[in-house]
Structure 1
Amino acid sequence: MENSHRLKMVERDEWLRPVEGQLLARHEAYEKRLDEIRRTAGSLVDYANGHRYFGWQYDSTLEGWWFREWLPGACDVYLFGDFNGWQRTELRLDKDAQGVWSIFLPEAMYGHRLRHGSLYKIHVHGRNGWLDRIPAYATRVVQDERTKDFTAQFWIPRPFDWSDDTFDIARHDELLIYEAHVGMAQERPGVGTYREFADRILPVIARDGYNTVQLMAVAEHPYYGSFGYHVSSLFAPSSRFGTPEELKGLIRRAHELGLAVIMDLVHSHYVRNLNEGINELDGTDHLYSPAGPAGDQPHWDSKLFDYGKPQVEHFLLSNIKYWLEEYRFDGFRFDGVTSMLYHHHGYVAFDSRDRYFDEGVNEGAITYLSLANRLAHDLRPSCVTIAEDVSGMPGICFPQEEGGVGFDYRLGMAIPDYWIKQIEEVPDEQWDIREMWSVMTDRLPGVKTVAYAESHDQALVGDKTIAFRLMDKEMYTHMDRASENLTIDRGMALHKMIRLMTVSTGGDAYLNFMGNEFGHPEWIDFPREGNGWSYAHARRQWSLAEDGLLRYSWLGAFDRAMLALVKRYGILRDGYPYCLQMDDRNQTIAFSHGRLVFVFNWHPAASIPDYRCRVREAGRYELILSTDERRFGGTERARIGSEHFSSPADNGDGTTSPAISIYNTSRTAAVYLLQ
């Protein structure tokens, strides 16, 4: 492969020319590792089969079950459970030269005791003593309601029926992502289930116009309040929401509704817990992590993976294949990519190009992520991968053959930060429309971005949703349609405008966290000692959006209309918006997508009759959507369906451009269609 082709990403971005050598070295490291894998395993897809070797595997020739676990630092390992009366030291495993411990249980001896649903653990003797542990490849882990202890479960169900599932995410040429958490998706206080989510929530998501569900907290995690980010068992779907088959049923139901399902994948760190997790599983501190302090993620109180270690790489790549094959997820949102990419985990200012190529970069993580993306797309060509990277690492969304890491999308994390700053720190009349335009469109060509105004991060205790920032305590007393309140009026108007601005200028895909589309009034606070273990704030009050007497339904109606517009006219597929004019005095931005003209008047008071707005093509324009429509809680100062014929406008340089005359009302976003 020629270097010029291999570094096509440099040809696209001259800013990278001075670091072409470092980029080439990274790509060569990836290619070298990929070649090694292919030589030993035949292909990357065949290599990522740890879940088919470790854990429980049935041997039809010997007629019995093998159990295997990689524990090179252990002195002794035993298997025990309810199938042997919980006798810890009865069944000793044997160790091979690679540090893999194994035992064979003949079906003739154990078939009547080792059954689907049996509970088990391993008893490990290591440098940290004798400990009862959960195996790393456990595919089902359950919690005892009385003791709160977690235990692995022998889970060998009948094969799941995927026969009617022919869904392919490739059918969606633009992603409208609904970020969701199964446990807190129900209105009742308590933990929701996979089955409830499939029956009650998925139809709502599909009805509202989203085409992709991004599921949080899938892999098992001991602390519910971690939002699923302190993972303990990477191969076990969380049992607090139901069984593995019920999760598969959720995904099958989503596919029936035309919804893709993306998993929020946590390969950036894992929980420190010894009782539930893989930390020090063989008695050493460097089984899955680098040794010593280098193995700690101090900002998250968790452990790091050693991405350069072949066995860890194999474990994580197998995990990707497992979720794609066993559960038929359609892709992954990789959590904490910035933490993975750098030894300092991104806690520095990325103020120069050198920050992406100095000693702070974790080169092993770059190789791993490149392999992970290659595996996902080799296994499922239409698989979607999204990087949560705030640093802007060059090449993160370029193909590996061009010198990149291979993600399909990156999250536009600067966008929600911008909106928060505007709402909290800048008076309305000082909102800088040029700064707004710059932030919304600040992305490299070819780097596909998921735009979002807010995600789950902005909804947690200690932070606020956009609706809560805009309207705060007034939401508790003045969200009924009969109330008159200036704070609520302002908040409703800006809530709609911010969302439409984000989806129409911010990227190539769009994301919303569940409930935020209708302005859910409360933060997220999982049960904990500080709130009396209450579920009051760990749920979604869908009834608010369904109540015709409340304003929440207006916000939900606008969200549906907005997404319908996006899909009908291919706004996300159209790429960058075309700027038509910037009117600083009236805080008005006008831009176009194809035959659509968007006019955003951010001014709190200036409504201008016969406002001249430039357009790209002469013709007749019809007002087809406005945030000020009565059906969305507005006053409809401009009439929907009104027609506006273009006429020449003086550009001030002796030339003219077509323009239309409109009623440019304050705090309103309006969309006009060229007929």
Structure 2
Amino acid sequence: MPEILPVDTDELAAIAAGTHRDPHAVLGPHPPGGDVTVRGLRPLASGVAVTDIAPPSRRHPDGRHRVELEHEQDGIWVGVLTGVPEGDVPAYRIETSYADGSTHEADDPYRFLPTLGPLALHLIGEGRHERLWQVLGAPVHEYDGLGAWPNVRGTAFAVWAPRARAVRVKADFNNWDGREHPMRQLGTSGVWELFVPDVGSGTHYKYDILGADGRWRLKADPMAQYAEVPPLTASVVHESRYAWNDAAWLERRVASAARGHTDQPMSIYEVHLASWRKDRSYAQLADELVAYVADLGFTHVELMPVMQHPFGGSWGYHVTGYYAPDSRFGDPDGLRLLIDRLHQAGIGVILDWVPGHFATDEWALARFDGQPLYEDPNPQRGWHKEWGSHIFDFGHREVRNFLYANAVYWLEEFHADGLRVDGVASMLYLDYAREAGEWSPNVHGGRENLEAVAFLQEMNATVYRRVPGVVTIAEESTAWPGVTRPTSEGGLGFGFKWNMGWLHDTLGYVSRDPVPRSHHHHDMTFSLTYAWSENYVLPLSHDEVVHGKGSLLRKVPGDRWRQLATLRAYLAFMWAHPGKQLLFMGGELGQESEWAESRELDWWLLDLPDHRGVQQAVRDLNARYRETPALWARDASPEGFAWIEADDAAANVLAFARRSPDGSLLVCASNFSAMPHERYVLRFPAAGAWDEILNTDAAEYGGSGVGNLGRIEVPEGLATAVALPPLGTVWFRLAG
């Protein structure tokens, strides 16, 4: 009679209670070869049997392949498979019977080796696993059958919870009863793992985590690549089957980046997907949004956060699922389709990314293993007063790894062309939004968050090394030095920085009546004193049209004609100014109302000719911009810019020249007074024929039609009288 390998009753009790840190040491087959004791955990069963699924050549000589198990203790069933070839781990399935007469057969999770090997665990422990999503979370995994043995597909659940006493999987495959699926802790890595056979895409699950305080907490997977539609909160297994069609785009992206991002055209259309048009899926947006942006001629879109977040009113900036695209619009392959279609239309994709803080929902990252884990445990560093959210522990290497691997994930798995990093200033300073006494200095006595600085440098260096051709952009509102300086030179390593100073100065200028503007002329010129200190993006973002600030149009005083004219003139001034440009959706319509995430844009405005004129002006701005290297080929160099008229405050006139390396020239002249200047003398940078290639006062835009009849001749003396329309901007390009 074969003997059962004994196990201490306390160990069996721990298995049944879900508190055993290595259930595989008790459950499953032990030892390999010969008489193998098999234990299964089926707390609700009325009967359990093991069915040997090995090929006949490896079965017991008498052909016996079914063994009834006996109930041992607390829902644990045990039996012996005999005659197993020496060294073999038998392949078998467990058949479970229930009191209602139903039966269920499944492979045994506890007969498999860990899905994470020593190298993966070492890299996780070092905080250096750059493709963390491939080993943590819930990737679909297939075990090789090794010749005659059958292959087995399932899901490899793995979660980092270093201070947990126990972890188990609750899911729809176990009727949300995690007792049957306790996980094992892999050494000292803090990783808990369980491979569950026959489980694949579409499976809903969470982790049940026992904290040091003895309390079980049900948590969504931090590494989940898909999630339920809010307000539901379960994670969802997802295996991508998307076939990309953007190889040509990616090749061009790498070649373009080799010439330098700063010297390429970049005009960005910022989009909040939920309110661009209401109730659209990723697939619908792949048709409608792509066609719209392509028609307007923007080079890039920037998507406000598409990472999973529970509250729509946060606009995506309070994230709970850093690796999961927002399921409100469809599954992750839907987002892949949208990005792919944008690429096929020649449009780059920048994703907003929020590594500075995260949502407080108790089912998500907060106190993940019962104690502060992802958040800094020091309340002076771990709590964001202004936003009511947790701040990541940038001094913890596994947390840094979680974040910078996440940056790589969106760029590699979703082919994004860049990341705009939200709230960088809040990360850099220990005293950000804190009063005296609410923060403590760093080891050098300063207010700089040295750990966050090191993280940003590590993230940028990793991203640029791993994914050639992408760009990172910092929303950074202070004078922190070297935001776009390479990390090798001590900088933060971003490709671009938002120019918040330009934004506030120029919006303040156009928000005044034309007469008082003359006293604030420096607001339009000051940015040129520092324009080349960093690589800049000029951001007319969503932040400027919410919370009582009004739309761009409504910021401008005067009647509707003056508002629309000033908006067109301001956008043309912006497009010609050194730096790349970003316009939030609705600005191209002359949006009437302030933006709200709960409703879509005022598309009805396009029924009005004057608002269609603003849209046409933006379309033409992008077209002229793309075809004019003088406007972008030397954005990072003062050699590409020269003032023609910087000091005529009385006339509200500004004029400057842009020059590309090949010597081509463009002159931008803006008149922000309400009166036309019929013969305004400008000193052009070169003699010859100059074409008026854009005039925001053109009748087709809703203007008064003051202009220069298409072409002017500049004599050798260079001083030439031109017509500058009221509240208008004119672009002249050297012919030839």
Question: TM-score normalised by the shorter chain: which range applies?
Answer: 0.7 to 0.9
Matches of 1:393 and 1:346, distance apart in 2: 16
Residue in 2 that maps onto 1:117: 202
1:631-642 map, 5 Å: 631-642=700-711
Counterpart code for 1:634: G
Matches of 2:485 and 2:603, distance apart in 1: 40
1:409-558 map, 5 Å: 409-424=496-511, 428-432=515-519, 434-445=521-532, 447-452=534-539, 454-470=540-556, 487-505=559-577, 507-526=578-597, 535=598, 538-545=599-606, 547=607, 549-558=608-617
Matches of 1:313 and 1:180, distance apart in 2: 28
Q: Could you report, residue by residue, the CA deviation over 1:11-43 in whole angstroms, capped at 9, with x for unpaired residues? A: xxxxxxxxxxxxxxxxxxxxxxxxxx99x759x
Q: Which of the numbers 36, 47, 51 marks the counterpart of 2:133?
A: 51
Matches of 2:420 and 2:161, distance apart in 1: 30
Report the CA distance between 1:590 and its aligned residue. 1.7
Pair 76,667 (structure 1): closer, same or farther in 2 beyond 3 Å: same
Counterpart code for 1:467: L
Residue in 1 that maps onto 2:33: none
Matches of 1:270 and 1:666, distance apart in 2: 48
1:361 aligns with 2:412: no
Question: Does the 8 Å contact 2:697/2:726 carry over to 1?
Answer: no
Residue in 2 that maps onto 1:175: 266
Q: Could you report, residue by residue, the CA deviation over 1:448-505 in whole angstroms, capped at 9, with x for unpaired residues? A: 10013x211112232212112226xxxxxxxxxxxxxx60111011101111112212
Residue in 2 that maps onto 1:645: 714
Corresponding residue SS for 2:733: strand
Pair 232,45 (structure 1): closer, same or farther in 2 beyond 3 Å: closer
Residue in 1 that maps onto 2:720: 660
Counterpart code for 1:265: W
1:593 aligns with 2:658: yes
Report the CA distance between 1:558 and its aligned residue. 0.7
Counterpart code for 1:488: R
The alignment covers a number of residue pairs equal to 583
Residue in 2 that maps onto 1:149: 232
Residue in 1 that maps onto 2:642: 578
Counterpart code for 1:228: G
Counterpart code for 1:589: L
1:159-308 map, 5 Å: 159-168=241-250, 169-170=253-254, 171=256, 173-186=264-277, 190-275=278-363, 277-308=364-395
Q: Could you report, residue by residue, the CA deviation over 1:622-643 in whole angstroms, capped at 9, with x for unpaired residues? A: 3332111101111112243142
Question: Does the 8 Å contact 1:440/1:502 carry over to 2?
Answer: no
RCO comparison, higher one (Cα < 8 Å, 6+): 1
Gaps of 5+ in 2: 1-118, 146-151, 660-664
Question: Does the 8 Å contact 1:289/1:306 carry over to 2?
Answer: yes
Q: Which of the numbers 362, 381, 391 marks the counterpart of 2:468?
A: 381
Corresponding residue SS for 1:47: coil
- Tell me how large the CA RMSD over aligned residues is: 2.8
Q: Which of the numbers 118, 122, 133 marks the counterpart of 2:219?
A: 133
Report the CA distance between 1:92 and its aligned residue. 1.4
Residue in 1 that maps onto 2:15: none
TM-score between both structures, scaled by the size of structure 1: 0.81
Question: Does the 8 Å contact 1:520/1:541 carry over to 2?
Answer: yes
Report the CA distance between 1:298 and its aligned residue. 0.8
Report the CA distance between 1:542 and its aligned residue. 3.2
Bigger shift: 121-130 or 206-215? 121-130
Pair 579,176 (structure 1): closer, same or farther in 2 beyond 3 Å: same
Counterpart code for 1:492: L
Question: Does the 8 Å contact 1:503/1:572 carry over to 2?
Answer: no
Residue in 2 that maps onto 1:670: 730
Question: Does the 8 Å contact 1:580/1:590 carry over to 2?
Answer: yes
TM-score between both structures, scaled by the size of structure 2: 0.75
Question: Does the 8 Å contact 1:45/1:375 carry over to 2?
Answer: no
Pair 436,80 (structure 1): closer, same or farther in 2 beyond 3 Å: same
Question: Does the 8 Å contact 1:184/1:192 carry over to 2?
Answer: no
Residue in 2 that maps onto 1:566: 625
Pair 443,76 (structure 1): closer, same or farther in 2 beyond 3 Å: same
Report the CA distance between 1:166 and its aligned residue. 2.8
Gaps of 5+ in 1: 1-36, 472-485, 527-534, 649-657
Question: Does the 8 Å contact 2:595/2:601 carry over to 1?
Answer: no
Report the CA distance between 1:68 and its aligned residue. 1.3
Bigger shift: 231-240 or 632-641? 632-641
Matches of 2:515 and 2:243, distance apart in 1: 55
Corresponding residue SS for 2:669: strand
Counterpart code for 2:592: P
Counterpart code for 2:175: G
Report the CA distance between 1:386 and its aligned residue. 0.3
Report the CA distance between 1:248 and its aligned residue. 0.3
